[in-house]
Amino acid sequence: MRLLALEIKRVLKTKRTWILIVASVLLAVFMAYIPITFVTVQKTDESGNYVEITGKDAINYYKSNMVQGVVKPEILRDAVRRYQEVYKTYDSVYGDNIPSEVYYEKLSAYQPYIRGIKEALADRNNGMSPVIADISIDKVGEYYDLLESRLASVIDMEQTGHPAAKEVALSKFAKVQRPYEYYYGAPSDSMEYETFFIFLITILCAVIVAPIFSTEYQTGADDIIRCTKNGKRKLAIIKVASACLIVGMLYLLCGITWIVVTNSLFGWEGTKTSIQLSFSVTTLLPYNVGQLQWANLLGGFLLFLSAICFTLLLSSLAKSNVSALALALLFVLLPFLVYTVMPGQLGDWLQTLLPGAGIGLGNSLLYAMTNFDFLHLGSASFWNTDVMLMLALVKIPLFIMFTIVVYDRKRIR
C-alpha cells in the first residue's frame, strides 16, 4: 500500500496531470450547461407582444405547460385531436406554416407524443409515417398493441436475412414496462453531450497515463528502478493500479458531476421519463431517462477502462513519451474512424473488437443502446451493446496482464 500511495503521489504531483484533472471537471460542468442554452419558447406576453424566452425561463415554461404523467391512450388521442384541429385551421399538412406562437400555445404540450404515435402507426412495409390528418383517432387507442409489430418490421428492414436478430430484439423489448411515462426534463440531445464528454475525457486520461512507463524508459531511470527489491513485476502492478485508480476516480467524479448538474438544471422529475419517448418508441432497454444516464456512464466506464488499460500496454512497449502518446491517441480515435470510413458488418465487428470500442460519437455506447445494430456470426445474431460490454470485461484483465508481462520482461539497456 505504501508503494501504491507513493506512485499515486508521483503521478499527481506533475503539473500536467493537475491541469488535465481541472480541465476534465470544468468540461463536465460545461457539457452539462450547454444544452439549456438551446431551449427556447416563442410566445406572446400579457401585453400581446411577441417574445422569445430561453434557458431556465423556457425550461420552467415547459414544466408548467406540458401534459405529463403516465401516457394513457386518452392522452394520445387528445394529442392527435389537438394537432388535427390546429393543422386544419391553418390548412397545413406538415405544420410548416403554423405560427410559432400558436405552436407553443396549442401544440407543444403534446409534442413528445406525436412523434411516437406516427412511428407506431408507420407503414409496416416501407416504414413511412402517416401525416397528421390521416391518423385515425380509434387506431391511436391501439398504440401499445402495435409496438411489437412495429419493432418486428423495423428489424426486418434493417437486419434483412437475419431472423435471429428479430428474436433477440423482441425478447428484450418484452421487458419494457408499458404504459410509458413522460415528465419534462433533460432532452435526448443532452445525452449526446454526455457521450461527447466521455469521448473527450478518455482522450485527456489517455494523455495522463501514456507516460506512466515510457517516461522512465526515456530518462533511463527504469534501468535503476527494476534492479531494486520491488522492481519489475511488483512495480508494474503498482503502476497499473495507480493509473487506473487515478483516471477511474476522475472519470466517475466528472461523470457524476455531469448527471447532477444536468438534472439540477432541467429538473429531476424528468429522469422518470421512459426512454422510448426520448428516442424510438421501440427502444429495447427497459429504462427511464435517469437509468439510461447511469447506464451510459457506467457502461462507458468499462469501455473507458479498456482503452486506458490498452494505453498502459502501449506505454510499456514504447521507448519515448512522444511515441506512447501518439499511439494512445491513435487507438482512442481508431474505432470512430473505422465506424466512419468502413460501413457494414466488417466495420461494425472491427470497431467493436478495437480497444476503444464504444468511445466516440456515432459509434458511441449511447447510440448502440438506443439503436437496432446487430452483429452476425453465421446464423446467430448479437446485439452490439451486449458484445461491446462483454468484450470490455475480457479486454481489461487481458491488457493488464500483457502490460505486466511486457514490463517484467523488458531488458535493461
- Same domain flag for 211 and 136: no
Beta bridge partners of 288: 274
- Same domain flag for 111 and 209: no
The residue type found at 186 is A
Instruction: Look at residue 61 and tell me if it is in a domain.
Output: yes
- What is the sign of the dihedral through the CA atoms of 211, 217, 218 and 222? positive
Instruction: Look at residue 270 and tell me if it is in a domain.
Output: yes
- Same domain flag for 69 and 207: no
- Same domain flag for 277 and 396: yes
Q: Which helix (H) or strand (E) holds 289?
A: helix 289-317
- Same domain flag for 334 and 272: yes
- Same domain flag for 216 and 105: no
Angle between helix axes 384-408 and 289-317 (nearest 10 degrees) is 30
pLDDT tens-digit profile, the chain (413 residues):
677 787 778 778 888 888 888 999 999 999 999 999 999 988 776 776 778 889 999 999 999 999 999 999 999 999 999 999 999 998 888 878 888 888 888 999 999 999 999 999 998 888 899 999 899 999 999 999 999 999 999 999 999 889 999 999 999 999 999 999 999 999 888 999 999 999 999 999 999 999 888 877 776 666 556 666 666 788 888 899 999 999 999 999 999 999 999 999 999 999 999 999 999 999 999 999 999 999 999 999 999 999 999 999 999 998 888 999 999 999 999 998 998 888 788 888 999 999 989 998 888 999 999 999 999 999 999 999 999 999 999 999 999 999 999 887 765 44
Residue bearing cell 415554461: 61
Instruction: Give the length of the chain.
Output: 413
What's the pLDDT score for residue 234?
Answer: 83
Contact 168, 382 (CB under 8 A): yes
* Domain range for 373: 2-35+187-408
What's the pLDDT score for residue 13?
Answer: 80
200 in the Ramachandran plot: left (φ > 0), alpha (ψ -120 to 50) or beta? alpha
Instruction: Look at residue 147 and tell me if it is in a domain.
Output: no
- Same domain flag for 327 and 233: yes
* Residue 205, number of CB atoms within 10 A of its CB: 27
- Same domain flag for 87 and 193: no
- Same domain flag for 237 and 255: yes
Instruction: Look at residue 160 and tell me if it is in a domain.
Output: no
Q: Which of 141, 172, 206 is the last residue of a domain?
A: 141
- Same domain flag for 9 and 98: no
Contact 42, 52 (CB under 8 A): yes
Instruction: Look at residue 317 and tell me if it is in a domain.
Output: yes
- Same domain flag for 287 and 336: yes
Q: Tell me, yes or no, if the pTM score tops 0.95.
A: no
Instruction: Look at residue 155 and tell me if it is in a domain.
Output: no
Instruction: Look at residue 403 and tell me if it is in a domain.
Output: yes
- Same domain flag for 292 and 391: yes
Contact 412, 226 (CB under 8 A): yes
Instruction: Look at residue 221 and tell me if it is in a domain.
Output: yes
Domain tally, the chain: 2
What's the pLDDT score for residue 225?
Answer: 63
- What is the sign of the dihedral through the CA atoms of 393, 395, 401 and 404? negative
